[in-house]
Amino acid sequence: MTLRISVIGTGYLGTTLAAGLAEFGHEVIGVDIVPEVVKKLNAGQPHMFENGLEHLLEQHTRSGRLRFTLDYDDIADWADVHFLALGTPELPDGSADLSQLHATIDALAPKLTKPALVVGRSTVPVGTAPALQERLRRLAPAGDGIELAWQPEFLREGFAVGDTLRPDRLVFGVQSDHALRLLKQVYAIPLSEETPVITCDLATAELIKQAANTFLATKISFINAMAQLCQVAGGDVTVLADALGLDARIGRGHLSPGLGFGGGCFPKDIRALAVRADELGVNVLSDLIKSVEVINSAQRVELAELAIDQLGGEIAGKKVAVLGAAFKEGTDDTRDSPSLTVADYLHDRGAIVEVYDPQAHLAPRDGFTQVGSVIEAVRDADIVLHLTAWPEFRYLDPAELAPLVRSKIIIDGRLKLHAPTWRDAGWKLVQIGRAA
Ligand code: UGA
């Protein structure tokens, strides 16, 4: 059954969700407050790089099932379901900034004169949803006819389209059978493909998302701490991760060692959970999260210091080629990018840093230069740092690059390069947690 759905907030989650819901056959209107974004999306063009999104947007803005607007009047009493896909950025104390959610409710609610289901998709501290529902009901003419549900999202940047069309699970935090029925209609297609569904209360739904991100971040920090141990003890952390991963109770996912996690989600979400856990007196959890963060930050410094060591302890005036600026491969997102932390660290110590990334465009910044190719980045470099695991870096020909550099030293910060190939071509390849 075709539903009318609004998606409020057209960041990478909202845009992908809106396009995905149109693909499921619904009529969808996306809402944003930025005129240029709405204009671009109505022309079928995404405002961020995300594999497969452009195709979906083009197709459904053309089919007429998907459009975007600045005007809440277009959606208020039109939609059966309103999805809230707003950002919850980090405040200076580490807690989540809910102001975009509040502003949206203040704009939407006074226009809701008919009963409707509002579904939160943002990552929020536990306890947020009931407070938002109270605000909605207070401000909406439809009053108690407005119901709030919570459906956490698990999209990964770079795989957002696939994760939307074929989710590995759906979590519905609901308060009534009516809300559950409506959500099942929204997701009739993935549900018909036997996607597992978890139905729960609002608090559990809010917590599932923060727990998932925190658990994944903990896996990464655990394997990075093991990499440190391998480094001193002489073990090989990738073999260790492979062996752990074969235990079905552990799994290999998010056990890849290297520079650690960054981006717009893990760092802020785990800190927000730590703040909320402290507020609620559950300090054991915030202590665990703080350790995860300490390990993660240390990886960046460790790698930068390793680069300095490789150059005999002095990096001032040396040219450093940085391969990768995005926080991970498959995205142009540089928020809290580990690779840029390393680049800044080395630049602050006097290095001449040149960065290449296949997708990310850096805002003009002090210090280091962004260049248009690997060749330009490595020309005359004293050291090369592989810091974002773009597949194209795995297929570089070390023999071709060798004559360009001043010294053939490469640090593989993501442990993804084929060490024998580089070493056979005369390079010194260094990986934390794997012996040379
Ligand atoms: C993450 C979660 O994986 C999604 O499920 C979630 O929906 C999303 O946050 C969100 O909250 O919106 P994302 O930030 O796109 O998705 O990226 P991941 O693929 O999880 O990677 C996060 C960081 O961890 C990256 O910097 C990546 O390089 C690093 N990472 C990942 C590792 O260092 N090792 C690994 O084994 C995996």
Break the chain into its structural domains and give their ranges.
4-200, 202-436
Alpha-carbon span 231 to 432, nearest angstrom: 6
Q: What is the pLDDT of residue 186?
A: 98
Closest residue (by CA) to atom 30 of ligand 1?
Answer: 261
Fold type of domain 202-436: Rossmann fold (3.40.50)
Dist. CA 435–CA 239, nearest whole Å: 12
Looking from the CA of residue 155, the nearest atom of ligand 1 is 7
Mean pLDDT of 245-264: 97
Q: Summarize the confidence of residues 409-431 as an average pLDDT.
A: 97
Residues contacting 162, CB < 8 A, separation 6+:
52
Run of H or E residues at 381: none
> CA 68, CA 64: separation in Å to the nearest integer?
11
Joined together, the tokens standing for residue 1 give 């059954």
Q: Tell me which residue has its CA closest to atom 10 in ligand 1.
A: 265
- 252 pLDDT tier (thresholds 50, 70, 90): very high
In percent, how much of the chain has pLDDT > 90?
A: 96
CB count within 10 Å of CB 397 equals 9
Q: How far is CA 182 from the centre of its chain?
A: 28
Angle at 175 between CA 170 and CA 179, to 5 degrees: 60
What is residue 410's predicted lDDT score, i.e. its pLDDT? 98
Tokens 């439809």 identify what position?
142
CATH class of 4-200: alpha beta
Tell the residue nearest (CA) to atom 24 of ligand 1: 261
Q: Residue 436: is its pLDDT beyond 80?
A: no
Out of 170, 207, 209, 220, give the residue to mutate to test ligand 1, the one with the largest number of ligand atoms within 8 Å of its CB: 220
Q: How confident is the model at residue 9 (pLDDT cuts 50, 70, 90)?
A: very high
Tens of pLDDT, residues 71-115: 999 999 999 999 999 999 999 999 999 999 999 999 999 999 999
Q: For 312-332, how does the pLDDT look when each residue is reduced to its tens digit (9 = 90+)?
A: 999 999 999 999 999 999 999
Pocket of ligand 1 (CB under 6 A): 123, 153-157, 213, 216, 220, 254-256, 258, 260-263, 265-266, 269, 327-328
- CB burial of 266-276 (b: ≥16 within 10 Å; e: otherwise) equals bbbbbbbbbbb
pLDDT band at 168 (very low <50, low <70, confident <90, very high): very high
Q: Directed axis angle between helix 266-279 and helix 283-310, to 10°?
A: 150
Q: What is the mean pLDDT of the chain?
A: 96
Q: Please count the other Cβ atoms lying within 10 Å of the Cβ belonging to residue 256.
A: 18
CB atoms within 10 A of CB 63: 10
* CA 91/CA 342 separation, integer angstroms: 24
At residue 188, the pLDDT reads 97
What is the predicted pLDDT for the residue at 363? 84
- pLDDT of residue 368 exceeding 90, the answer is no
Q: Is the pLDDT of residue 367 over 90?
A: no
Q: Which atom of ligand 1 is nearest to the CA of 328?
A: 28
Res. 366: pLDDT tops 80? no
364, pLDDT greater than 90: no
Cα separation, 265 vs 219, in Å, equals 15
Question: For 4-8, 252-256, 412-416, 432-436, which range has the lowest pLDDT when averaged over its residues?
Answer: 432-436
What is d(CA 161, CA 173) in angstroms, rounded to the nearest whole number?
23
- For the chain, give the longest Cα–Cα distance: 73
CA distance 99 to 96: 9
Instruction: Decide if 19 contacts 60 (C-beta within 8 A).
Output: yes
Lowest mean pLDDT: which of 36-50, 355-369, 419-433? 355-369
Question: Sheet containing 81-84: which strands, arranged edge to edge?
Answer: 66-69, 27-31, 4-8, 81-84, 116-120, 146-150, 170-173, 197-200
- Residue 307 pLDDT greater than 90, yes or no: yes
Q: What is the pTM of this model?
A: 0.95
Whether 382 has a pLDDT exceeding 80, the answer reads: yes
Tens-place pLDDT, residues 13-43: 999 999 999 999 999 999 999 999 999 999 9
pLDDT, greater one: 367 or 428: 428
Grade residue 429 by pLDDT with cuts at 50, 70 and 90: very high
* Beta bridge mates, 431: 434
CA of 346 to the centre of ligand 1 (A): 25
Say what the ipTM of the complex is. 0.98
Q: Which of 151, 207, 328, 393 to mutate to test the pocket of ligand 1 (most atoms within 8 A of CB)?
A: 328
CA distance 100 to 102: 5
Between CA 374 and CA 396 the distance in angstroms is 9
Binding residues: 32, 88, 123, 154-157, 209, 262, 268, 328, 335
Distance 355 CA to ligand 1 centre (A): 22
Q: Which sequence positions are flagged as catalytic?
A: 265
Q: What tokens does 224 get?
A: 């990075």
What does the pLDDT read at residue 22? 98
Mean pLDDT in residue range 264-293 = 97
Q: Where are the alpha helices (DSSP H) in 97-174?
A: 99-108, 128-139, 160-165
- Collapsed DSSP state (helix, strand, coil) of residue 109: helix
Residue 306 CA to ligand 1 center (angstroms) comes to: 25
